[in-house]
Amino acid sequence: MGPEEIVRRLREWPRGLTRDQRKTIRQALKACCSIFDAPRALIAWEEHEEPWLIVASLSDTNFTWKEEEPDRYLPLVDSSVAGVAFAGDAVPIHSDFRAAYSLHDVVSAPVRGETVQGRVFIAEPQERSLLIAEIVGLLLERTLDYSATIRNATREAVHEERIRVARDLHDGLLQSFTGVVLHLETIHSLIDTKPEDARKMITDIEGVIMSDQRELRSYVEQLRPRRRVDVPFDFHARMEELRSRFQTQWGVGVAFEIQSGIDPLVAKSLGPETFRIIQEAVTNSAKHGSASHVHVRLSSGESKMLIEVMDDGSGFPFHGRMTLAAIRESGIGPAMLAERVAALNGEAGDLRSPRLYGCDVMIRLILADDHRIILEGLEQLFRREKDFEVVATATTGEKALEAVRKHRPDILVLDIRMPDGDGLWVLKQVHREKIQTRVVLLTATLDEDEVLDAMQSGVSGLVLKEAAAVNLVETVRRVQRGERALEPTLVSRALDRLSQREDAKKIVEVLSRRETEIVKMVATGLRNKEIAMKLSIGEGTVKTHLHTIYEKLGVHGRVELTMYALERGII
């Protein structure tokens, strides 16, 4: 084979990488066989973060893939040729490896990338140029590194997308549904005495539910693994939906001003996410600033979008201007909004100070929730009962604790998840300060660890938000009578979690103390090098431990190990 033909085959090296690592390696080995005019090619390599030697081989159409123990064939070749290519007799190759994979007359080159280290072996080649072998080694380095990058990026993207969808569903639909249920309970009390008011509220709620259905359908469409025809994002329609929703559910007037239209390119690329930013900003104005009117101004140009939100509310718990970085670092103010803006490489503007509001009337209550629609629904739920007095409301954990210190209510009802100090923190502070206020926690999700923590911290009542309209009032009355009123579903899940922790103890008994430490470090995202430094051991020792851990627990890879540890309460 002449030089021109070799160059032509090198140029045909596969560039279409996929998330399927085995497919990518098979294509690369096929190219190796072609370049060297050889019947078989083999590559053996280690990935820095995994505890095994991967051996992939291709001969004709037979492709094999095997994961060997990390130290079984070390060193793979004699140290005298470790960093260079060689051809001919296979004596420099580890004898057991040579016998296991039938390597005799070979051309071999090192493969040393950012994430991998190993060698390629071409069996019985017609072309024996060491220069070509070195070039192929470099091409394989790039292929393996790119493949690892694609896999890692895909895992991270899936993780981030799950977080985004969960956040949007919690902040939007879940809170809206809870508010609707609380309003329906109010309608139930009005249906006989004020039927016209009840009918109007029903009509309004129907509109909210229809809007939520459209939003949920949008989420489902985003998650479908199929191509969709691009449809321009209709800001006017979405803004009108948002305006109607806030007027109906919150009693907040929202005005939108779109200057010079929206650039179609901007609407297509930034539309959905910028709408989420506007929705978050308007929600913050209403729930944190107690605004009655919000004005939103939009303008776009040069592939950018400017969003200005102005309101007549009391703002956030700081004065003057705070940068996006300061908001994210301090956790003061609209942290979720800051995260959304940061995700689009945007910048935030001016924000100002808040106020705490409340009012005075047998069971004295403080209500706390960071979602205004739920807070209003809770107020309506208790104010129509003759034996309750709502003495204050709050939208953060800190404000709730301040209100408890000031008013010393009989009962504090608050969301388990709150900004500036969550419900569990407030519960523990109330007990630590020996304040004679009983605490009832609301939760939108069945987080077993949180529920178990709340039970162990002495919570008096636990209610699912979805059941609040039916169960909350009677739960508070039971708590006032000195009973402990805990949602049976939550208690059952918490006890299951406690049992799971006991199982985790048994699993830990299977692992050595060092292996348990490594499992916890892997699950927190530490790499082998970082683990080795923390434990003052060699990186190779970490890999050996990981290999043993994988065998004991029956898992394959760091992702499976992390999921195993999380599901069984090891961490």
The per-residue pLDDT for range 48-62, each reduced to its tens digit, is 777 788 999 999 879
Q: Which of 310, 343, 376 is the endpoint of a domain? A: 343
pLDDT for 484 equals 80
pLDDT for 505 equals 56
On average, the pLDDT of the chain sits at 77
Please check whether residues 8 and 148 belong to one and the same domain: yes
Does residue 113 lie in a domain region? yes
Q: What is the mean pLDDT of residues 352-360?
A: 35
pLDDT for 86 equals 93
CATH number of the domain where residue 443 is located: 3.40.50.2300
Does residue 192 register a pLDDT over 90?
A: no
pLDDT for 539 equals 86
Q: Which of 469, 494, 519 is the endpoint of a domain? A: 494
Please check whether residues 313 and 210 belong to one and the same domain: yes
CB neighbour burial string for 496-530, b if at least 16 within 10 angstroms, e if fewer: ebeebeeebeebbeebeeebbebbebbbeebebee
pLDDT for 15 equals 77
pLDDT for 4 equals 84
- Which of 346, 320, 318, 313 lies closest to 334, judged by CA? 318
Q: 226: pLDDT confidence band, cut at 50, 70 and 90? A: very low
pLDDT for 387 equals 83
Please check whether residues 315 and 266 belong to one and the same domain: yes
Does residue 505 lie in a domain region? no
Q: 358: pLDDT confidence band, cut at 50, 70 and 90? A: very low
Does residue 167 lie in a domain region? yes
pLDDT for 93 equals 92
124 or 311: which leads in pLDDT: 124
514 or 183: which leads in pLDDT: 514
> For the residues of 342-359, what is the DSSP string, one character each?
HHTT----B---------
Distance of CA 262 to the CA centre of its chain: 31
Does residue 207 lie in a domain region? yes
pLDDT for 164 equals 66
Percent of the chain's residues with pLDDT above 70? 69
Please check whether residues 145 and 166 belong to one and the same domain: no
**Cα(115)–Cα(64) distance, rounded to whole angstroms?**
22
Does residue 180 register a pLDDT over 50?
A: yes
Does residue 358 lie in a domain region? no
**Cα(390)–Cα(411) distance, rounded to whole angstroms?**
10
Tokens linked to 329:
């670092």
420 and 394 Cβ atoms separated by less than 8 Å = no
Please check whether residues 20 and 90 belong to one and the same domain: yes
Looking up tokens 């394989």 gives 140
Please check whether residues 318 and 393 belong to one and the same domain: no
Least confident of 11-15, 148-152, 302-306, 363-367: 302-306
327 or 474: which leads in pLDDT: 474
Q: 229: pLDDT confidence band, cut at 50, 70 and 90? A: very low
Q: In the β-sheet with 304-311, what is the strand arrangement from edge to edge? A: 253-258, 293-301, 304-311
Does residue 22 register a pLDDT over 80?
A: yes
174 and 444 Cβ atoms separated by less than 8 Å = yes
> 11: Cβ–Cβ under 8 A, 6 or more apart, which residues?
none
Q: What is the mean pLDDT of residues 406-413?
A: 92
CATH number of the domain where residue 289 is located: 3.30.565.10
Q: 356: pLDDT confidence band, cut at 50, 70 and 90? A: very low
pLDDT for 398 equals 93
For residue 60, how many other CB atoms are within 10 A of its CB? 8
Q: Which of 153, 179, 206 is the endpoint of a domain? A: 153
pLDDT for 520 equals 83
- Which of 163, 178, 167 lies closest to 372, judged by CA? 178
Q: 167: pLDDT confidence band, cut at 50, 70 and 90? A: low
pLDDT for 543 equals 87
Please check whether residues 294 and 183 belong to one and the same domain: yes
Measured at the alpha carbon of residue 23, what is the angle toward residues 93 and 70, in degrees to the nearest 5?
A: 35
Summarize pLDDT for 544-553 with one digit per residue, the tens: 888 888 888 8
For residue 107, how many other CB atoms are within 10 A of its CB? 25
Does residue 356 lie in a domain region? no
Type of residue found at 131: L
Measured at the alpha carbon of residue 131, what is the angle toward residues 126 and 133, in degrees to the nearest 5?
A: 60
Three-class secondary structure assignment of 484-498: CEECHHHHHHHHHHH
Does residue 357 register a pLDDT over 50?
A: no
Please check whether residues 435 and 559 belong to one and the same domain: no
Looking up tokens 């459209």 gives 214
Partner residues linked to 298 by β-bridges? 258, 307
Number of separate domains in the chain: 4
Does residue 501 lie in a domain region? no
Please check whether residues 329 and 391 belong to one and the same domain: no
Q: Is the pTM of this model over 0.85?
A: no
Please check whether residues 475 and 528 belong to one and the same domain: no
pLDDT for 412 equals 94
Q: What is the mean pLDDT of residues 307-311?
A: 80
**40 phi, psi to nearest 5 deg:** -150, 145
Q: 380: pLDDT confidence band, cut at 50, 70 and 90? A: confident
What is the domain extent for residue 457? 363-494
228 or 25: which leads in pLDDT: 25
Q: What is the mean pLDDT of residues 360-387?
A: 81
Does residue 502 lie in a domain region? no
CATH number of the domain where residue 528 is located: 1.10.10.10
pLDDT for 314 equals 65
pLDDT for 511 equals 82
As a whole number of Å, the CA-based R_g of the chain is 31
CATH number of the domain where residue 9 is located: 3.30.450.40
Summarize pLDDT for 515-570 with one digit per residue, the tens: 888 888 887 778 888 899 989 998 888 888 888 888 888 787 787 787 777 666 66
Please check whether residues 542 and 442 belong to one and the same domain: no
pLDDT for 490 equals 62
Please check whether residues 329 and 187 belong to one and the same domain: yes
Does residue 355 register a pLDDT over 50?
A: no
